[in-house]
Amino acid sequence: MADKPRILLTTPWPERAVMAMQNHFEIDIHAGPLPMPEDRWLQALQTYDAIAPTVIDRIPAQAYRASENRTKVLGNFGVGYNHIDIEAARKGNLAVSNTPGVLTDATADQAMGLLLAVARGISLGDWHIRAGEWRGWNPTALLGTHVTGATLGIIGFGRIGQAMAKRAHFGFDMPVVFHNRSRIDEDRASALGARQLESIEAVLRESDFVSLHCPGGGENRHLINVHRLRKMKPTAFLINTARGDVVDESALAEALKNGTIAGAGLDVFEDEPRVHADLPALKNCVLNPHLGSATETTRTEMGLMVMHNLLAFFAKDPMPNAV
């Protein structure tokens, strides 16, 4: 190509990923306000050959009518794509790619960190010190929940779910039960100390900790609702590093307040960056601002994966991670 394709990044990326992109493309970066406003989207669709959105973007319907736009491909910066209307993209001939695999370990690490933080009162202990409320060691103060040997339930046993099982089973001797829409090879599950159960409810009833690793959107919206929260043990904890809309936040806030479950660790929320008004005041809930993939190494690799997908698209080759 004589002229480099023009690409818009809807948010700033790590520097090394941007520099790599600049070797192949003409790059512009939307620095704010975030998420990118609709008028900027409409302008960009007529200005750029590709746009690289993220989970925070609200993509207008015009984006999916590729024949009317200069933009013919969305190189999504992230593995999840429930913010993209894939059916509309297919009908409108708009190509879409994502970044699977590269953020598996970082997200599983984050889920395990949230589990430990809420079970052992790590965040609560930090808060006590910063608030000046610590009065010294006490044998009955801030007693947490024992993690080693407890049962972990996983909803969604893909790459990240399996990485979470590996950490829990080999790191903390946790037996693992899981539910997945499709059957997982029994030998593969057994190697991770895991058993597949036939229903979500069966996993909820058996687990001391429940970690969500399923896609968001569609039929998974409010997968964890008031009825399913009541299936959990009152001593159990819910961990969500998947998508915010998988959990009914109002139902969860009520369950945390009334003792239906013991606690929660949340990295994602229904209407980011808005968080349900009741959650920040609950000391049995650890809140993180969507940090699952937030290591410099992982976010850089995500950008490089977007780059390789777009290079393939403009070379008229199949994209390695087409959705």
Residues 167, 228, 290, 299: which is the catalytic one? 290
Exposure class string for 250-283: b at 16+ Cβ within 10 A, else e: bbbbebbeeebbbbbbbbbbbeeeebbeebeebe
CA atoms within 13 A on the CB side of 83: 24
Strand order in the sheet with 285-287: 194-196, 176-179, 152-155, 209-212, 237-240, 263-266, 285-287
Q: Return the closest-CA partner of residue 29 out of 58, 7, 56.
A: 7
159 a catalytic residue: no
Q: Do 293 and 106 contact (CB within 8 A), yes or no?
A: yes
Q: Return the closest-CA partner of residue 247 out of 285, 283, 281.
A: 285
Residues 167, 243, 276, 299: which is the catalytic one? 243
What whole-number distance in Å separates Cα of residue 40 and Cα of residue 47?
10
Q: Do 229 and 260 contact (CB within 8 A), yes or no?
A: yes
227 a catalytic residue: no
Residues 26, 201, 254, 272: which is the catalytic one? 272
What whole-number distance in Å separates Cα of residue 225 and Cα of residue 200?
12
| Whole-number Cα distances in Å, 173 to 24, 146, 231, 265, 274 | 47, 12, 24, 21, 36
243 a catalytic residue: yes
Q: Report, as residue numbers or ranges, the catalytic residues.
A: 243, 272, 290
